[in-house]
C-alpha cells in the first residue's frame, strides 16, 4: 500500500469563502487531503478582535462556510488559542507541513513573525493575496513609497490594470481521514442571547458567501445604474451593502470590480465610481499597513494636543439616537437596528460627535467597531480620522457639517428620518430636520411633544461650531 499523502492545512480568517480563494484553490490543487480550520484568537491572539455585532455575523458565516466545505467533501475545524501554537499542534498531530492562508493586511507584521515561528518548526507557510484589489506593495509613488493622498493612489492603482480574474470555487476536495478533535462552534456562544439584541439582523442580512453573491448581483442589476448620483441619498438604498460581506471576506473586491462590468447598457461613469469606492478600501489598508495603530494614534500628530472634552450624558444621547437632530438620530438608530449605517450619515454622525460634542474620535471609532457588522480595521479607523481631520488626506477640521442642512440636502423629503425615528413620522416635511423650530400647532398636529416624546437639541449647533473652531485654533498655534 502506498503511504498516505500528508494533509495540508488551510487557515481561514477574514476570508470566509470558497470562490476566489487563492489559498484554498492552491491547497486543493496539491491533491493532498485538506484540513480547513478557524482559530478563535481573542484579543491576546493579535489582530483586532471582532466586535459584538460582528460576533453574530461570524457565527452565521462560519456555519455557511462549514456547510459549503461539507458539500465538497471537506470540513471546518474550530480551535481556540494563540494562532501559532494551535497551528503547530494541528500540524504535529496530523503530519502536515504546509499551511495555506490569504494575507490579512491588518496584521502584516504578525503574519511575518508567525511564518518565522512555523518555519522554525519545519512548517512552510504559503500566503496569497485576495483581500484587496491589488497587492499594496505594488501601488507606490514614483519614489517607491506608499501614497498619502487618495487621488494619485487611485491613478496608480488604475495604471496597474484590472485586478486578476476571480477564481472559481473548487468543485471537490479530499478531506483528511484523521483530524484532531474540533471544538463546537455552537459552544462558542457568539450570537447574543440575553437579550437577543441581534434578532432583527437576520431579517436584513444573510451572512455567508451565497448571501454575498446575491447582494452583489442584486446591486449590479438595481443600484449600480444610478450609483454615482444616488449614493449620497440614504433613503434611496442605492449602494451595494456589500461591506459586511467584504469585511468577512465572503466576497473579494476583485469579484465586485469584475461583476460591475455586467451592467448592461450601463453608463461607464457609474461603474468607475463604484470601483473608485472599492479603491478607497485599498487606500485605507495601505494607511493601516504604514500605521498599524491607526485606530488609536492620530496620523497627524498635530492633533495629539487637541483639547477633547467628554460628557457622559452627551455621549449616551449620541449613541442612543437622542440628540434632537433628526438625521443624527436616524443614523444612530439605523446602526443599532441594522448593524449598518449609510455612508453619508456615518459622516454626519461622526462629525457631530467630534465637532459638535467635542468628543475624541476614538470613542466614536470604538462604538462603531462594536456595533457595525462591517467594522473593518482599516476603513473604520481611517474614516474616523478622515472626519476628525487628523487622518491622511482628511477633510479639514474646520469643515464642520451642519446636521440640519445636511439632512435637508440629502434626505429632502425626510423619508430616511421617518424610517428610523418613528416619533417624527407625522411631522411636516418643512420641519422634519428642524423640529425645534416648528410652531406649536404643527407639533401638536404631528403628535409631538418636544422634550418629552422627542428631545430638544442637546447642543446648539452654532455655538458648538464656534467652540470647536476655537479649540482647533488653540491646538495649531
Ligand atoms: P458602497 O457604496 O456600495 O461601496 C462598495 C464598497 O466600497 C464598500 O462596501 C466598501 O468596502 C468600499 N467603500 C465605499 N465607501 C467607502 C469609503 N468611504 N471608505 C472606504 N471604503 C469605502 N466602511 C467599512 O467597510 N467598515 C467600516 O468600519 C467603516 N467605518 C466607517 C466609519 C465612518 C465614520 C465613515 C464616515 C465611513 C466608514 N466606512 C466604513 C466607509 C463607508 O461608510 C462604508 O464602506 C459604506 O457605507 C458601506 O456601504 P456599501 O457597502 O453599501 O458601500
> Quick check: 79 and 222 in contact, CB under 8 A?
no
Beta bridge partners of 40: 80
Ligand 1 binding pocket mutation candidate from 51, 383, 391, 394 (most atoms within 8 A of CB): 383
- Please list the residues that pair with 12 across neighbouring strands: 38
pLDDT given at position 44: 41
Q: How far apart are CA 239 and CA 303, in angstroms?
A: 33
Domains within the chain, CATH numbers bracketed: 8-130 (3.40.50.620), 132-164+209-290 (1.25.40.80), 301-476 (1.10.579.10)
Q: What per-residue confidence (pLDDT) applies to 266?
A: 72
Residues with CB under 6 A from ligand 1: 231, 239-243, 246-247, 277-278, 280-281, 284, 343, 346-347, 350, 368, 372, 374-376, 379-380, 383-384, 387
**Which run of H or of E encompasses 220?**
helix 209-222
Closest CA to 38 of 246, 340, 249, 293: 249
For residue 283, which atom of ligand 1 is closest to its CA? Answer: 20
Residues of the chain with pLDDT below 70 are 1-3, 43-49, 477
Strand pairing partners for 77? 37
Spell out the residues 6+ positions from residue 268 whose beta carbon is closer than 8 angstroms to its own.
Answer: none
pLDDT per position as a tens digit, 263-285: 877 789 999 999 999 999 999 99
What pLDDT score was predicted for residue 477?
55
The predicted pLDDT at position 3 comes to 63
Structure confidence at residue 47 (pLDDT): 45
Q: What is the pTM of this model?
A: 0.97
Are 468 and 356 in contact, with CB atoms under 8 Å apart? yes
Question: Whole-angstrom Cα distance, residue 14 to residue 111?
Answer: 14
Q: Which three cell numbers stand for residue 27?
A: 491547497
Catalytic residues: 277, 280, 308, 343, 361, 384
Task: Share the mean pLDDT of the chain.
Answer: 94
Q: Report which of 152, 86, 85 is spatially closest to residue 77, judged by C-alpha positions.
A: 86
The count of residues in the chain is 477
- Looking at the predicted complex, does its ipTM rise above 0.95? yes
DSSP letter assigned to residue 191? S
Joined together, the cell numbers standing for residue 400 give 464642520
In tens, the pLDDT along 31-71 reads 999 999 999 987 544 444 678 999 999 999 999 999 999 99
In sequence order, what are the residues at sequence separation of 6 or more whose Cβ sits closer than 8 angstroms to the Cβ of residue 447? 426, 453
Amino acid at each position: 500500500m502506498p503511504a498516505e499523502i500528508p494533509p495540508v492545512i488551510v487557515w481561514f480568517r477574514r476570508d470566509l469563502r470558497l470562490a476566489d480563494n487563492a489559498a484554498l484553490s492552491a491547497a486543493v490543487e496539491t491533491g493532498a487531503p485538506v484540513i480547513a480550520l478557524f482559530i478563535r484568537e481573542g484579543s491576546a491572539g493579535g489582530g483586532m478582535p471582532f466586535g459584538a455585532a460582528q460576533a453574530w455575523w461570524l457565527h452565521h458565516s462560519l456555519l455557511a462556510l462549514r456547510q459549503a466545505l461539507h458539500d465538497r467533501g471537506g470540513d471546518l475545524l474550530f480551535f481556540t488559542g494563540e494562532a501559532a501554537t494551535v497551528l503547530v499542534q494541528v500540524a504535529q498531530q496530523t503530519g502536515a507541513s504546509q499551511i495555506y492562508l490569504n494575507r490579512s493586511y491588518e496584521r502584516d507584521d504578525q503574519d511575518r513573525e508567525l511564518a518565522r515561528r512555523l518555519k522554525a518548526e519545519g512548517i512552510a507557510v504559503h500566503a496569497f493575496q485576495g483581500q484587496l484589489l491589488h497587492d499594496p506593495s505594488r501601488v507606490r509613488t514614483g519614489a517607491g513609497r506608499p501614497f498619502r493622498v487618495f487621488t494619485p493612489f487611485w491613478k496608480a492603482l488604475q495604471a496597474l490594470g484590472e485586478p486578476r480574474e476571480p477564481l472559481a470555487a473548487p468543485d471537490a476536495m479530499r478531506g483528511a481521514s484523521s483530524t484532531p478533535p474540533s471544538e463546537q462552534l455552537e459552544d462558542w456562544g457568539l450570537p447574543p442571547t440575553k437579550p437577543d439584541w441581534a434578532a432583527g439582523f437576520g431579517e436584513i442580512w444573510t451572512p455567508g458567501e451565497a448571501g454575498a453573491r446575491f447582494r452583489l448581483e442584486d446591486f449590479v442589476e438595481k443600484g449600480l445604474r444610478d450609483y454615482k448620483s444616488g449614493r449620497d441619498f440614504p433613503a434611496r438604498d442605492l449602494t451595494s451593502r456589500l461591506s459586511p460581506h467584504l469585511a468577512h471576506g465572503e466576497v473579494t473586491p476583485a469579484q465586485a470590480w469584475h461583476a460591475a462590468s455586467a451592467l448592461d447598457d450601463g453608463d461607464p461613469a457609474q461603474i468607475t465610481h463604484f470601483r473608485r469606492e472599492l479603491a478607497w478600501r485599498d487606500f485605507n489598508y495601505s494607511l493601516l499597513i504604514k500605521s498599524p495603530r491607526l485606530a488609536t494614534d492620530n496620523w497627524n500628530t498635530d492633533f495629539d494636543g487637541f483639547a477633547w472634552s467628554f460628557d457622559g450624558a452627551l455621549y449616551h444621547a449620541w449613541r442612543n439616537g437622542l440628540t434632537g437632530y433628526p438625521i443624527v438620530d436616524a443614523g444612530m438608530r439605523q446602526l443599532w437596528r441594522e448593524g449598518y449605517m449609510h455612508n453619508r450619515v456615518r459622516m454626519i454622525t461622526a462629525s457631530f460627535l467630534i465637532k459638535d460634542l467635542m468628543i475624541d474620535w476614538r470613542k466614536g471609532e470604538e462604538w462603531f467597531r462594536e456595533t457595525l457588522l462591517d467594522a473593518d480595521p482599516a476603513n473604520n479607523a481611517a474614516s474616523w480620522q478622515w472626519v476628525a481631520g487628523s487622518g491622511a488626506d482628511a477633510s479639514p477640521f474646520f469643515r464642520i457639517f451642519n446636521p440640519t442642512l445636511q439632512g435637508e440636502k440629502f434626505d429632502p423629503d425626510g423619508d430616511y428620518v421617518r424610517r428610523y425615528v418613528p416619533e417624527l413620522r407625522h411631522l411636516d416635511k418643512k420641519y422634519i430636520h428642524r423640529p425645534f423650530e416648528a410652531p406649536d400647532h404643527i407639533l401638536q398636529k404631528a403628535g409631538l411633544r418636544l422634550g418629552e416624546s422627542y428631545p430638544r437639541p442637546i447642543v446648539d449647533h452654532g455655538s458648538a461650531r464656534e467652540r470647536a473652531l476655537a479649540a482647533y485654533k488653540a491646538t495649531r498655534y
